[in-house]
């Protein structure tokens, strides 16, 4: 009888641990929900006036010609930078929420996606693609919370790579602001 009770207790403990392990992280779940909503909204709202596409052609030394396409999706209701760090609170802007970037370097093609919180303009999520030593393409998914990396899916990047994702996201936000204010240049 004691053996059966011990076996039952161990079984319950294992089931409880398995149930706990299956609970999704609430931060990651909310970011994934926002990401899916952004992807759905971009499909539904094509041509609705809340997107901007720009294509850039340039040459990468030793690799040849490159074509880069940036696709910006934004809310059409103006906001202010009142709650965004290091910005003039009287400066109006259109809240950027999702950016896709596709480009090639030589024969390799890359796609990146960036999801921003439309209210704070902080980076929430980034998807990047890269190639391993055998030439096989893989994804990295960066989840950000309160301005810093919260979780990463994919091969471990260097600290420099993590910083570059944040830097690239900031540069895309600045490019979007500049392009909106200087459409003829």
pTM of the model: 0.78
What is the three-class DSSP state of 173?
helix
Tokens of 99: 């950016």
169 vs 132 pLDDT, higher one? 169
Give me the residue label for tokens 């929430």: 124
Rounded mean pLDDT of the chain? Answer: 81
**Displacement of CA 28 from its chain's centroid (Å):** 12
The Cα–Cα gap between 146 and 102 comes to 27
- Binning pLDDT at 50, 70 and 90, where does residue 21 land? low
φ and ψ at residue 3, rounded to 5 degrees: -60, -40
**What's the confidence (pLDDT) of residue 70?**
92
Length of the chain: 185
165 vs 76 pLDDT, higher one? 165
Average pLDDT for residues 49-64, to the nearest whole number?
A: 86
Domain ranges of the chain: 28-181
The Cα–Cα gap between 105 and 19 comes to 45
φ and ψ at residue 162, rounded to 5 degrees: -65, -45
Res 185 pLDDT > 90: no
């Amino acid at each position: 009888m004691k053996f059966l009770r011990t076996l039952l207790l161990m079984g319950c403990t294992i089931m409880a641990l398995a149930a706990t392990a299956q609970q999704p992280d609430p931060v990651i779940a909310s970011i994934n929900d926002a990401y899916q909503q952004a992807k759905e909204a971009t499909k539904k709202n094509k041509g609705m006036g809340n997107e901007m596409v720009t294509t850039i052609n340039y040459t990468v030394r030793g690799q040849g010609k490159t074509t880069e396409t940036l696709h910006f999706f934004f809310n059409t209701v103006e906001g202010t930078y009142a709650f965004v760090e290091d910005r003039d609170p009287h400066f109006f802007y259109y809240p950027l929420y999702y950016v896709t970037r596709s480009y090639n370097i030589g024969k390799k093609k890359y796609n990146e996606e960036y999801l921003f919180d439309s209210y704070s303009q902080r980076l929430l999520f980034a998807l990047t693609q890269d190639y391993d030593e055998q030439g096989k393409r893989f994804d990295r998914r960066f989840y950000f919370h309160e301005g810093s990396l919260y979780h990463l899916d994919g091969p471990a990047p260097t600290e420099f790579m993590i910083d570059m994702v944040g830097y690239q996201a900031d540069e895309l936000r600045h490019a979007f602001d500049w392009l909106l204010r200087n459409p003829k240049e």
